[in-house]
Chain A
Amino acid sequence: MPTVTVDGREIEVPDGATVLQACELAGKEIPRFCYHERLSIAGNCRMCLVEVKPGPPKPQASCALPATEGQEIRTDSQMVKTAREGVMEFLLINHPLDCPICDQGGECDLQDQSMAYGRGGTRYRANKRAVTEKYMGPLIKTVMTRCIHCTRCVRFSEEIAGVDEIGAVGRGEDMQITTYLEHAAEHELSANVIDLCPVGALTSRPYAFEARPWELKKTLSIDVSDAVGANIRLDSRGREVMRALPRINDDVNEEWISDKARYQVDGLTRRRLDKVYMRKKGKLQPASWDEAFKAIAKQLKSDKSSIAAIAGDLVDCETMFAARALLNACGSGLLEGRQTGMDYDTSNLAAVNFNSTFAGIESADAILIVGSHVRWEAPLVNVRLRKAVKRGAKVFVVGPEWETTFPATFLGTDLAVLNDLPTEVAEVFDTADKPAVIVGGASLKGAHGKALALASGWGAEFNVLHTTAARMGSLMLGYARKGGIADIAEAAPRVLLALGADEMNYEPFADSLKVYIGHHGDKGAHAADIVLPAASYAEKDGTYVNTEGRVQFAEKAVFAPGDAREDWTILRALADALKVEVGFDSFVELQSAMIAAVPALGEEGLADYGELPKPDAKAKAEGSIDAYPIADFYLTNPIARASATMQRCSQELLHGEELAEAAE
């Protein structure tokens, strides 16, 4: 713990801290462009100059200088100011003066810092350098003349994403940031370089020239595109969500979000259900709320309890609880959330939870992934796995091969391999200090019990990686029948409430009155008899539980379009139509009723599911994994499917080669 003096104030800094970090600890703001907490140190922008004694009598780059005992650091001397002004002047020599037409304007590090260190005018009379734009795919717009060569994007793709595709070609004044032959950046986290870019060189292509940062209303929200529950900020203007940006949460998403989380928001304005529809003569026709509620009540006249609810992938806990309250009031318990027909045992939620926590999986030293395409199912968990591997963890995967971003050994698609692991694999886990097992959706049917037994045998942490934002919440609220969705089909309910259920098979419910309460005209609405327009995650307050059992609260950013209402109000009105009492009249009442029923949902943070169940030692894994549940990363939910950006990504990045061939 060296003690250093920053501007006359003595402070103790942790071992291995840099001078820059020491200054931050002392509350001094150090301007910087290339330095970033989560990336390696480059030391090439020179903006963070400070004066350090003992040392050479010249300013030093604080980001790359280790803090040592007895250093005297000055951040406020004339020398520092002059030096930084010099650096800023050099940076601005070739930087175009196009802030008025630059999308970074208003949230630009260079713009902000030039307010403090920039000159009023330029002394440079020669020609400025100009660089051609580089194509980096459908998400990243480049204006490379603005680039100041901080190499944050290069370091991000190499270190965090693990897909080395951005590089600095050429040298000196001719250095240019580009991808190889200007291929599109093809990974699930590519758009994070937009946030990292301290200037306007890399900006968001779908959001280009849409809005200025100061016009936007910022709402804290939770991403629903996967089960990670990344913390996001929705920036909205008027009734439209303009963009989604990550918020920093070291336990969940650090400061990254997947491209889907970031860019599916343009789907919020397309293919929306904004009217009530009823199927008349085989066609969905606009109708009124009254008509719809009457039809539902009529269907339930003979037997009120013949009603079932299926929760979709994106719904919040409040909606699910409201539906549960409605069903219970009707005398039914036909609730299910696992749309694809899975029927794993949910008697103990710890057995279907990601118990390591995302931050915890980083320190695992041997990881067995069973049936999970982590890169697509949870890109941010993949980042954690990569960190673990960098620290020396060994990773083994059972399932079809996918392109990992770290060295991993694939053990084949046959789940039976778990019954008799190859000796060298078993040995790794036997000797590991902190092994972990991750079970994905593809193997929950065939290998859940065996994986649990293996984990307990090794003393390993047991994790289930879900793929949908609603999953853990729905399980906590009892949306699970013993036989899965087949149980519901068998009960043949007269009314089926589909709460944004778009991935399920509606065929077994041909005789039920299918009421779709959701926000997008997707598969569920196509199959429905009555469509009640509801709110998406951006248009309602709600509680979400991520796959590690972390309860998080999202706020309402905008109003739902047209006649669409928040889901709980629809269910509350339906309760009146059915003449039953659900016990809440406002969102607050609904929420407190929900918390009274499931106290864990009232506390933000990790829910406690208790001990893991005793594993069945005789459990056997069987079957083989032919495919992972996600066939197309960019089109996994109704919002993403409606999003033009996601469709373009899917076409270009996943099916680009096929399209090129078809064109030939």
Chain B
Amino acid sequence: MADRNPAPDTPELRERWGAFAFTDENRARADRHIAKYPEGRQRSAVMPLLDLAQRQVGEETGTQGWLPLPVIEYVADYLDMPVIRVLEVASFYFMYNLVPVGKFHVQVCGTTPCMLRGSDDIIAACKKRGMVKGGVSEDGLWTLTEVECMGNCATAPMVQINDGNYEDLTPERLDAVLDALAAGEQPREGTQEPGRHTSEPSGGPTTLRDMVDANHDYRGEW
């Protein structure tokens, strides 16, 4: 697991983020989330609001975004709840970054199916490109994190980079994706296997074969 302690509370951090406030657009979104819950239960909206805040920080810093303490305090204040309760949530969920991340947050799945399909090679390929676990690479582009199952076992191994999943990876395919991202292009998300569409069985269907061309009534065959 990466370091889940919040970034230290320094005067520089306060100076940089002390004046954080939602943009008008995000404020409207935040209020829409709050309105989902009954009166007096506005703190239920803490998770979407933290996400909004993280994204806004991301926009301001040109990264995936993270949650500096003043921003956590802002969210607590916005929802009129104790800061410690917001920090509990922010530190519980892995998707909230508590320390600065690079422009691309490369989250490599290292759970068993991905590991069996070669996630170790993926991590090695990432490290070869200068990525460090839990830190930002020298060029400011990359942050590497090893995460637990992302639910893409059928197309293992996979990485999640910011909001996109890249699956069926080999070190070469990963390099292609990362090169494209570094060059400012948007590579195709999803499986990287040529000819594969999504997470359907590779090598053609193994069940319901008669359904491939036309609708087939199986009921008589049960």
Contacts and interface: CB of A to CB of B under 8 A. Distances in A.
B91 A171 contact: yes
A179 B91 contact: no
Given A174-B1, A174-B4, A164 B92 contact: no
Given A181-B9, A181-B69, A170 B84 contact: no
Interface in A150-185: 164-171, 174, 179-181
B87 interface: yes
A84 B92 CA distance: 28
Contact of B85 (A164, A170, A174, A181): A164
B88 interface: yes
B18 to A, nearest CB: 15
B46 to A, nearest CB: 13
Contacts of B83: 180
Given A180-B87, A181-B9, A181-B69, A170 B82 contact: no
A167 B9 contact: no
Scoring B1, B84, B88, B92 by chain A CB atoms within 10 A of each residue's CB, the highest score goes to B84
Interface residues of B, number: 13
Contacts of B81: 164
B92 A179 contact: no
B82 A165 contact: yes
Nearest to A181: B9
A167 B87 contact: yes
A180 B91 CA distance: 12
B contacts with A: majority SS: helix
Interface string A133-157: 0000000000000000000000000
Contacts of A179: 84
Contact of B91 (A165, A169, A181): A169
A171 B92 contact: yes
B28 to A, nearest CB: 28
A164 B91 contact: no
B88 A169 contact: yes
Nearest to B81: A164
A181 B6 CA distance: 9
A180 B92 contact: no
Contact of B82 (A164, A171, A174): A164
B21 to A, nearest CB: 21
Contact of A170 (B4, B9, B69): B4
Given A171-B91, A181-B69, A165 B84 contact: yes
A154 to B, nearest CB: 9
A164 B84 contact: yes
A394 to B, nearest CB: 14
A385 B16 CA distance: 41
Contacts of A164: 81-82, 84-85
Nearest to B93: A171
Given A174-B4, A181-B69, A167 B85 contact: yes
A167 B4 CA distance: 15
A169 B82 contact: no
Contacts of B1: 174
Contact of A168 (B4, B9, B82, B88): B88
A131 to B, nearest CB: 12
Interface string B44-69: 00000000000000000000000001
A167 B92 contact: no
A164 B83 CA distance: 8
Contacts of B82: 164-165, 167, 180
Contacts of A167: 82, 84-85, 87-88
Nearest to B8: A181
A407 to B, nearest CB: 10
A169 B85 CA distance: 9
Nearest to B40: A407
Contacts of B87: 167, 169, 180
A20 to B, nearest CB: 26
Nearest to A178: B84
A181 B1 CA distance: 21
A147 to B, nearest CB: 15
A164 B87 CA distance: 12
B194 to A, nearest CB: 39
B91 A166 contact: no
A171 B5 CA distance: 11
A262 B168 CA distance: 64
A181 B9 CA distance: 8
Scoring A168, A169, A170, A174 by chain B CB atoms within 10 A of each residue's CB, the highest score goes to A169
A174 B4 CA distance: 8
A181 B87 CA distance: 10
Nearest to B83: A180
A52 B205 CA distance: 47
B96 to A, nearest CB: 12
Contacts of A170: 4, 91-92
Contacts of B85: 164, 167
Contacts of B9: 181
A179 B91 CA distance: 14
Contacts of B91: 169-171
Interface string A283-303: 000000000000000000000
Contacts of A174: 1, 4
A180 B4 contact: no
Interface in B71-107: 81-85, 87-88, 91-92
Nearest to B72: A180
A171 B81 CA distance: 21
A166 B84 contact: yes
Interface in A171-219: 171, 174, 179-181
Nearest to A179: B84
Nearest to A165: B84
A604 B180 CA distance: 83
Contacts of A165: 82, 84
Contacts of A166: 84
B169 to A, nearest CB: 27
A164 B4 CA distance: 22
Contacts of B4: 170-171, 174
A134 to B, nearest CB: 12
Nearest to A171: B92
B1 to A, nearest CB: 6
Contacts of B88: 167-169
Interface in B30-50: none
A645 to B, nearest CB: 25
A179 B84 CA distance: 7
A240 to B, nearest CB: 37
Contacts of B84: 164-167, 169, 179-180
A164 B1 CA distance: 28
A171 B98 CA distance: 14
Contacts of A168: 88
A165 B86 CA distance: 11
Interface string A390-430: 00000000000000000000000000000000000000000
Nearest to A163: B82
Nearest to A182: B9
A111 B84 CA distance: 30
Contacts of A180: 82-84, 87
A171 to B, nearest CB: 5
Scoring A179, A180, A181 by chain B CB atoms within 10 A of each residue's CB, the highest score goes to A180
5 contacts: A165-B84, A167-B84, A167-B88, A169-B91, A181-B9
Given A164-B81, A169-B87, A170-B91, 10 more contacts: A164-B82, A164-B84, A165-B82, A168-B88, A169-B88, A171-B91, A171-B92, A174-B4, A180-B82, A180-B87
Interface of A: 164-171, 174, 179-181
Q: Pick the 10 closest A-B CB pairs, nearest first.
A: A164-B82, A167-B84, A180-B84, A169-B91, A167-B88, A171-B92, A180-B83, A170-B91, A170-B4, A174-B4
